[in-house]
Structure 1
Amino acid sequence: MTGRYARDRQICVRTNSTATTNLVSWARTAGVQRFIYASSVGVIFQGVPLIDATERDTPYPHEHYNFYCESKAQAEEIVSKGTGPDMKTAIIRFSGIYGPGEKRVTQRVVDFMKTGFWIGLSMENGVEAQTQLSSVANCVQGLMKIDEKLPDPHIAGGRIYHIVDREVFGTFSFWAPINRALGFPDPYIVMPPWVLRCIAWICQTLADRYDFDPFVSVLEVDLLTITNTYSIARAERDLGYDPEPSPIAEIIAEHCSEVNTPEWQWQLKKVRWQQKFLFWVVVPLGLALIVWMFWPHSLCAVIGAVFLKLWVSYLGKWAEEMFEQVRAIGANLPGQVDGGDGAVVELD
C-alpha cells in the first residue's frame, strides 16, 4: 500500500495490527494448524542500500516510511509470536508484486508508458539502482511451498521468508522492453534522485492535504533510486523455492498487442506532437514568463520577449503542419476514405 491510506494511522493499525491479532486468535480457537502471513520488504527498508538482505540480519528500522510499513512490521511480530505446538505460523515478504493481470504495479507502469512520457530515469552518480521484484507466479509458488512444508517438524514456526525473483536488475531498465514494444524510444533524460524525491514529496504533501492518491510516493521513489536486493537462500533451503524467470514477455503480449494497428500509430504520432509542444513551447514559455515576472527590465527579459515572439510564430507553423498531418492520417483510418480535395468522408 503506497496511496493516501498508507499514511492513515488509524486505517493501517486497524487493518494490519488489530485485524492480524484477531485472526491469529480466531484461527487458533478454530483449530487451524498453519497460519501464513503475507508481508512486504517495506518493513525493513529504511532509505539506505540493502544488498542481499537476509531475514535474520536485517532489523526493523526505528522509523518507518509510513504507517502501512509500521503496522505490517507490528503484524509480523504478532504472527511470529503466535506460533505454537497447536498452530505453526510463517511470514512471507514480497517486493513489488507484478505480472500479467496485476493491476497495482504493472498496470500503472504500462498506462504511464502509453502516455509517451516514460522519457526519464534517475541515477546516483551515473549508476542505476538494482532491485528484485516478486512476480505473481513466484508469489503463488512461495505460498504453496510454505503451506506444503510448514507441517515438517524440521521447519521452525514463526520464521520469515523472502519470496522474490532470482534475477537482480536495474529498477528502470527492467521495464524498458515494454516501452520499446509500445514503439517508444528509451528514456533520454537522466535526473538525480533528489529531483524525483522532491516531486514525490510535493505529491505526497498535496495528497495528504486534499485527500487523494499521490501520483508517486517518497517510498516508491526511494525503492527506485536506492539499491535493495534480498536473499532467498532460506526459502530455497527450507521450502525448496525455485523462482521462475521474469514474465516480461507475457506482459508485453498482454499489453502491446495493438501496436501494429492504425489507431496505435496515430497515438504514437499524437504523443510525439505532445512532447514537441511541451519541450518547445510550454517549457520555454514558462521560463520566459518567470524571468519576465521577476526581472522585467533585465536583458534576459528583452531576450525572452524576442524568443517569445519567435515561439508564437513557430507555434502557428507547427499547428498548421500538425493539422495537415492529422488530415492525412485520418484519411487512412479504417472506416474513412478520401473524398477528394482533402475531404474525409465517413463510411457507414
Structure 2
Amino acid sequence: MNGPDKVLVTGGTGFLGLEICRQLVARGTETVSISRRPSAELAELGVRQYHGDLADLADLAVLARAANGCGAVVHNAALAGCSGPLRPYWRTNVVGTLNVIAACRLQAVPALVYTSTASVVFRPGGLENVDERLGYPRRHLAAYPMTKAKAEEIVLAANGPSLATVSLRPHLIWGPGDPHFTPALLRSVHGGRLFMPGDGSVLVDSTHVRTAAHAHLLALDRLHAGHRSSGRAYFITQGEPLPVGSLALLLLAAAGVTARWQALPRTLVHLAATARDLGARLPGSTDTHALSRFITAELTHPHWFDLTAARTDLGFAPPVTLTEGLTQLAGDAGLSDAVKVLLAARAG
C-alpha cells in the first residue's frame, strides 16, 4: 500500500519522532520535521528541519510553511510526564494540537496521524484486555493523560472530508535510546534492589519504539488510501503483556544491571505520592517526573489491551518481538551472548 509522498513529523527530534522519521526516509518518503531545536541525526537522514514552538501563535506561520505540500502530518510532539501543574501540559498538548490542525487546514493537508497514549483511558482499578470501546475516565490522575485525552478528542472531532484523522495509543515505549522508561528504572535501583510499590505481579503491556513507529506508517498508508480507520483511535503495543516486575527487571538486565524487586508498602507510597502531587502542582513547579498517584497506580494495577482493531483495520503486527527487542538492547550494551540467551529465555 502506497503512502503520501511527503510527510511532516512534529517532534521529530524526540525518541519516537526520530524513529518515525527514520522509517519514513528508509522507504523513500520526503520527510520534514518541526521541533524546538535542530538535530544532527535528522540532518544525516536528509530530513528538512523547521524550528518553532507549536503552541506559540507567532510560530504558526513556521508550522504552516513546514506543512506546505505535505500529504500528511504525524503529530508526535508532546510534553510527557507523570506529575506537575496543568498549565504547561495544556499549552503544549492541547493548544499545540489545535495549531497543528489549523496548519493542516491552511495548507489543505488531507491526513493527520496523532500520537496519543493508552494512558488516556487509565483509571484506578486498572485495565485488563480492554478495547477501544472503553471511554475516558471521569477524572484523570495527572495532567499528562488528561491533556492527551483532550487533544485526542479534538483530533478525532476534526475528522472529515477535507482532513482524515486517526489517533494511535502506544504504551510504555522502550528501545535503543529510550530517554524516559529505562532511565527512570535505573534511578530507582539502590544496592541491587529496585524499590517499587506493590509486588510487581500486575500485567502490563509495553511497546518497542520500532513497533510504535511502524504503526504510524501503517496509519499513514490507510488514511492515504481513504480507509475506514479515519476518525478512530487504536491501541498499539507488543501484545505480550508481562508482570510489571518482570518487564522492569528484564529492561534493567538488558542495560547490564542486575537487581531484584523490592516491594514498598502501597499505603505509604500512596500517601507520599499524594503529598508530592500537591507540591508538584504549585505554580512555578517544573518537575514532570516526580513520584505521583498516577505512576503509583500504573505500577500497582494492570494495564493491557486488546489489539484486534489495530490488527484488523491497520494490518498491524509488531515488527520486533519482546525477546528480539531485549536481545538487541543487550547487544547494544555490550553484554555477552550468554546474557542474551538468558534474556530471551526469561522473556519467553
TM-score range, shorter chain: 0.5 to 0.7
Classify the secondary structure of the residue corresponding to 1:220: helix
Q: Which residue of 1 aligns with 2:175?
A: 99
- 8 Å Cα contact 2:182-2:252 kept in structure 1: no
Determine which structure has the larger strand proportion and give its number. Answer: 2
1:116 Cα deviation from its structure 2 partner: 3.1
1:33-75 alpha-carbon deviations (Å, 9 max, x no partner): 110111111211111221111112x111111112222221111
Name the aligned partner's letter for residue 276 of structure 2. C
Aligned to 1:16: 93
Instruction: Give how far 1:223 is off.
Output: 0.8
State the alpha-carbon separation in 1 of the partners of residues 113 and 137 from structure 2: 23
Contact 1:179-1:186 at 8 Å conserved across structures: no
TM-score (norm 1): 0.65
**Are the structure 2 counterparts of residues 152 and 166 from structure 1 closer, same or farther at C-alpha, using a change threshold of 3 Å?**
same
1:80 and 2:156 aligned: yes
CA offset at residue 122 of structure 1? 4.0
Cα distance in 2, alignment partners of residues 127 and 19 from structure 1: 36
How many pairs are equivalent?
252
Q: 1:113-192 to 2 correspondence within 5 Å?
A: 113=189, 115-123=190-198, 128-180=201-253, 182=256, 184-187=258-261, 189-192=262-265
Output the amino acid matched with 1:186.
R
What is the TM-score with the length of structure 2 in the denominator?
0.65
Whether the 8 Å contact between 1:122 and 1:128 is mirrored in structure 2 is no
Asked whether 1:245 is paired with 2:328, we answer: no
8 Å Cα contact 2:114-2:168 kept in structure 1:
yes
Q: In the TM superposition, what are the counterparts of 1:57-72 in structure 2 within 5 Å?
A: 58-72=134-148
Residue 117 of structure 1: CA displacement?
Answer: 4.9
Identify which range, 202-211 or 157-166, moves more after superposition. 202-211
Cα distance in structure 2, aligned partners of 1:248 and 1:83: 37
Per the TM alignment, residue 10 of structure 1 is displaced from its structure 2 partner at its CA by 2.1
Structure 1 match to 2:301:
226
SS in 2 for 1:47: coil
* CA–CA distance in structure 2, aligned partners of residues 26 and 131 of structure 1: 37
Separation of aligned partners in 2, 1:256 and 1:218: 36
Any idea what SS the aligned residue of 1:204 has? helix
Corresponding residue number in structure 2 for 1:203: 276
Which one-letter code corresponds to 2:310 in the other structure? A
Distance in 1, Cα, partners of 2:177 & 2:310: 26
The answer for the alignment partner of 2:74 in structure 1 is: none
The offset of 1:129, in angstroms, is 0.7
Work out whether 1:236 is the aligned partner of 2:314: no
Offset from partner CA, 1:100-141 (integer Å, 9 cap, x none):
11111122223443x435344544xx6711110121011111
2:205·2:240 contact (CA, 8 Å) conserved in 1?
Answer: yes
Q: Contact (CA 8 Å) 1:165, 1:245: kept in 2 or not?
A: yes
Give, in whole Å, the separation in 1 of the partners of 2:327 and 2:295: 24
Specify whether residues 117 and 206 from structure 1 end up closer, same or farther in structure 2 by C-alpha distance, changes over 3 A only: farther
- Matched residues in 2 for 1:116 and 1:254: separation? 24
Cα deviations across residues 136-187 of structure 1 (Å, max 9, x unaligned)?
Answer: 0111111111111123334242110111111010111112234456463523
- 2:327 corresponds to which letter in structure 1? A
Residues 3 and 217 in structure 1, CA contact (< 8 A), matched pair in contact too: no
Secondary structure of the 1:128 match is coil
Q: 1:151 to 1:179 in 2, by over 3 A?
A: closer
Structure-2 separation of matches of 1:257 and 1:217: 34
Q: Provide the rounded CA distance (Å) in 2 between the counterparts of 1:165 and 1:156.
A: 20
Identity %: 23
Amino acid in the other structure paired with 2:285: D
Corresponding letter in the other structure for 2:309: R
Instruction: For 1:205 and 1:118, locate their aligned partners in 2 and report how far apart those are by CA, in whole Å.
Output: 28
User: Is 2:183 aligned against 1:110?
Assistant: no
Q: 1:66 & 1:116 partners in 2: Cα distance?
A: 31
Mapping 1:275-314, distance limit 5 Å: none
- 1:98, distance to aligned residue in structure 2 (A): 1.1
- Say which one has the larger Rg: 1
RMSD: 2.5
